[in-house]
Amino acid sequence: MDNEHTPQIITHIEHNMNHCLFDCKWIPCSAKFVVIGSLPKGTGILEIFEITSGELKKVKEIERPVSFKCGTFGASSDVERRLATGDFKGTLEIWDLEKSCQVYITKEHTDIINSIDGMGGNIVNCGAPEIVTGSRDGTVKVWDPRQKGKPVANMQPAQGETRRDCWTVAFGNSFNDAERIVVAGYDNGDLKMFDLRTMSLRWECNLKNGVCFTEFDRKDIPMNKLVATTLEGKFHVFDVRTQNPSKGFAQVLDNSAKSGTIWVARHLPQNRDVFITCAGNGQVSLWKYKYPEQRFQVDSTGVAVGVAGKLQRLQRMVISSQPINALDWNRDHAGLAVATAYDQYVRVLVTTKLNLQ
Neighbours of 246 (CB within 10 A): 8
Beta bridge partners of 52: 55
For residue 287, pLDDT beyond 60: yes
CA dihedral 96, 167, 87, 173 (to 10 degrees): 20
pLDDT band at 127 (very low <50, low <70, confident <90, very high): confident
pLDDT of residue 170: 97
Question: Do 143 and 92 contact (CB within 8 A), yes or no?
Answer: yes
Question: Do 82 and 70 contact (CB within 8 A), yes or no?
Answer: no
pLDDT of residue 124: 65
Neighbours of 197 (CB within 10 A): 13
Angle at 270 between CA 264 and CA 275, to 5 degrees: 25
> What proportion of the chain, given as a percentage, has pLDDT over 70?
98
Query: Which amino acid appears at position 342 of this protein?
Result: Y
Question: Do 159 and 142 contact (CB within 8 A), yes or no?
Answer: no
- Across the chain, mean pLDDT equals 93
Q: Rounded to whole angstroms, how far apart are CA atoms 227 and 252?
A: 10
Query: pLDDT (tens digit, 9 = 90+) per residue, 297-355?
Result: 998 888 999 999 999 999 999 999 999 999 999 999 999 999 999 999 999 999 999 88
Q: Rounded to whole angstroms, how far apart are CA atoms 2 and 15?
A: 28
Give every CB contact of residue 99 below 8 A, 6+ residues apart in sequence.
none
pLDDT of residue 2: 62
Query: pLDDT (tens digit, 9 = 90+) per residue, 233-280?
Result: 899 999 999 999 989 999 999 887 676 899 999 999 999 999 999 999
Give every CB contact of residue 296 below 8 A, 6+ residues apart in sequence.
241, 242, 304, 305, 306, 307
For residue 27, pLDDT beyond 70: yes
For residue 132, pLDDT beyond 80: yes
